[in-house]
Amino acid sequence: MELNDTGLWQTLGHINGKWVSAENGITFSVTDPATGAHLADVPDMGASETRLAIDAANAALPAWRTKTAKERANILRKWFDMCMAAQEDLALLMTREQGKPLAEARGEVAYGASFLEWFAEEGKRIYGDVIPSHGADKRIITVKQPIGVVAAITPWNFPMAMITRKCAPALAAGCTVVIKPAEDTPLTALALAELAKRAGFPDGVINVVTASHGADIGNELTGNPIVRKLSFTGSTQVGKLLMRQCADTVKKVSLELGGNAPFIVFDDADLDEAVAGAIASKYRNAGQTCVCANRILVQEGVYDAFAEKLAAAVARLRVGPGTEEGVTQGPLINTKAIEKVETLVNDAISCGAKAVLGGARAKPGSNFFSPTILTGVTADMRIFSEEIFGPVAPLFRFRDEADAIRMANDTPFGLAAYFYARDIGRIWRVGEALEYGIVGINEGIISTESAPFGGVKESGIGREGSKYGIDDFVEIKYMCLGGL
């Protein structure tokens, strides 16, 4: 791969400031989802390397937590500057191992880096309180202290941003971290670790362990009493397992799990705006984000008009390898992903839905799926209740506002929801009635470092980004000062 900065090509794990292989020398292969080409071999680590990483993070903790917030902020800020200076290289690495178009990868580098900048600043504002006392000779004081060693297990769909969104607040608060990146996308994580090293993070503050399967590392990270906090983004199934595993050592957990986002188009919506929002929300990253519109609910009176406008816009999307100029739709991450999308589309069609666009795999290679629109989709089809994670927009029909809210909330998930409407009363009513952690109103893109990202119900616990993002990495200590 032609990186300008060849030092960003790192293929070993990172423990206590050193690049290390797996103890048994075993590696696993990282491939390009667009072509199937082999990119690198990366250490297949397990419990013992993870223990070393945890011990390194624990040893680095006392010196890191006692630095001033400003000292930590300066290093985080340098890391931000270095990521932005390396934007092109990081984007290329990301596109090659993950598949997203280069323009989106550049966007993710900027988005991912923004958490470093944001939390460098927020870290200086972790205030405690002096609380009015319950006795004349006593004072109540609270301080917020770093929770300790943090484990971060991250997914492949945002190989950089899911790491920085967890690690930046943890590091800013004074915690040290052990990162387990997704097996599909370890190279971006390792390049980030190299940049962190250059930025001046002391050895052991940031560690990265890689593996072809998460289970062994996950068992150690969740079972080891030194780790005080697990922050996980990934599937609901694995999130539930990790939460159970954390119970024995009563760790704090933050979970960002699956979604089943409704995207509601009311009859008073600006349809062109709604189409633009749907394209942004549905087809970004080829539909592989946990906030992607999963169910497009359209009011009866505008259903046909919306379907027609959406089809015209989706027909303009261009499928191909993410490295190719002008491509807007890259491959899906792997065979499992493409098979799942195919199964859901076939199920809907066999139950009476119609593919007005796409509906099958696309030409450039085995992992590509045509941008698809399904009409005549109903709530009894699997696609209503399962996360698609692919470029497929199923259009459901609804009668009125109550109907829309009932359908939107008819899921155990509650991450992101979107709706398009102009009536101000409706905007408040629907905004408040949606059982979701994030609601985009006349807006299809909601992620930014300055807003709290997170779900309710089975979509997760905790918030990432914003002034609230640090809360998950600190403990409140109450000190009662008596005998005055």
**Enzyme catalytic residues:** 256
Contact between 460 and ligand ADP per CB under 6 A: no
Half-sphere exposure of residue 365, counting CA atoms within 13 Å on the CB side?
19
Q: Measured from the CB atom, is 50 or 329 closer to ligand ADP?
A: 50
Sheet holding 372-377, edge to edge: 354-357, 372-377, 392-398, 293-299, 261-265, 416-420, 438-441
CB within 8 A of 403, min separation 6: which ones? none
Burial of 220 by CB count in 10 Å (0-12 exposed, 13-18 middle, 19+ buried)?
buried
Per-residue mark of binding to ligand ADP, 366-405 (x: CB under 6 A): ----------------------------------------
User: Least distance to ligand ADP from the beta carbon of 204, Å?
Assistant: 22
Among 21, 35, 87, 235, binds ligand ADP (CB under 6 A): 235
Selected range binding ligand ADP among 158-166, 238-246, 278-286, 410-418, rule: CB under 6 A: 238-246
Question: 238, 246, 357, 434: which one contacts ligand ADP (CB under 6 A)?
Answer: 238
Binders in 241-270 for ligand ADP, by CB under 6 A? 241-242
Contact 319, 362 (CB under 8 A): yes
Alpha-carbon distance of 439 to 432, in angstroms, equals 9
* Cβ-based nearer residue to ligand ADP, 176 or 288: 288
Q: Which residue has the tokens 């289970």?
A: 215
Residue with Cβ nearer ligand ADP (87 or 235): 235
Give the nearer residue to ligand ADP in terms of CB position, either 67 or 457.
457
CA distances from 118 to 69, 74, 207, 326, 411 (A): 13, 12, 22, 31, 33
Q: Which is nearer to ligand ADP, 182 or 264 (CB)?
A: 182
Nearest to 316 by CA among 283, 272, 338: 283
**What's the min distance (Å) between Cβ of 369 and ligand ADP?**
16
The CA-CA-CA angle for residues 239, 434, 296, to 5°, reads 85
Q: Please name the amino acid found at residue 340.
A: K
Whole-angstrom distance, CA of residue 404 vs CA of residue 263: 10
CB of 192 to ligand ADP, least distance (A): 15
Per CB under 6 A, does 234 bind ligand ADP? yes
Least separation in angstroms between CB 127 and ligand ADP? 34
Q: Tell me the β-bridge partners of 180.
A: 153
Among residues 15, 40, 82, 182, which is the contact residue for ligand ADP, using CB under 6 A?
A: 182
Q: Are strands 27-31 and 38-43 parallel, antiparallel or unpaired?
A: antiparallel
- Across the strands, what pairs with 40? 30
Taking the complex as a whole, how short is the minimal distance between the CB of residue 242 and ligand ADP, in angstroms?
6
Q: Per-residue x/- mask for ligand ADP, residues 142 to 181, rule CB under 6 A?
A: -----------xxx------------------------x-
Comparing CB distances to ligand ADP, the nearer of 120 and 149 is 149
Q: Which of 256, 13, 15, 251 is nearest to 151 (CA)?
A: 251
Nearer to ligand ADP among residue 48 and residue 450 (C-beta): 48
Question: How far apart are CB 208 and ligand ADP at their closest, in Å?
Answer: 12
241 vs 451, which CB is nearer to ligand ADP? 241
Report 94-153 residues binding ligand ADP (CB under 6 A): 153
Q: Rounded to whole angstroms, how far apart are CA atoms 26 and 5?
A: 27
Query: Closest separation between CB of residue 354 and ligand ADP, Å?
Result: 29
Task: Considering only residues 413 through 432, tell me which ones interact with ligand ADP, judged by CB under 6 A.
Answer: none
**Whose CA is closest to 243, among 256, 230, 233, 234?**
230
Minimum distance from CB of 234 to ligand ADP (Å)? 3
Applying the rule CB under 6 A, the residues between 73 and 92 that interact with ligand ADP are: none
For residue 444, give the DSSP letter: S
End-to-end Cα separation, the chain, in angstroms: 67
CA distance 373 to 355: 6
Position of tokens 């990119």?
Answer: 39
Q: Are 115 and 142 in contact (CB under 8 A)?
A: no
Among 214, 376, 455, 462, binds ligand ADP (CB under 6 A): 214
Q: Is 215 in the site for ligand ADP (CB under 6 A)?
A: yes
Total of residues contacting ligand ADP (CB under 6 A): 14
Question: Which spans of this chain sit near ligand ADP (rule: CB under 6 A)?
Answer: 153-155, 180, 182-183, 214-215, 218, 234-235, 238, 241-242
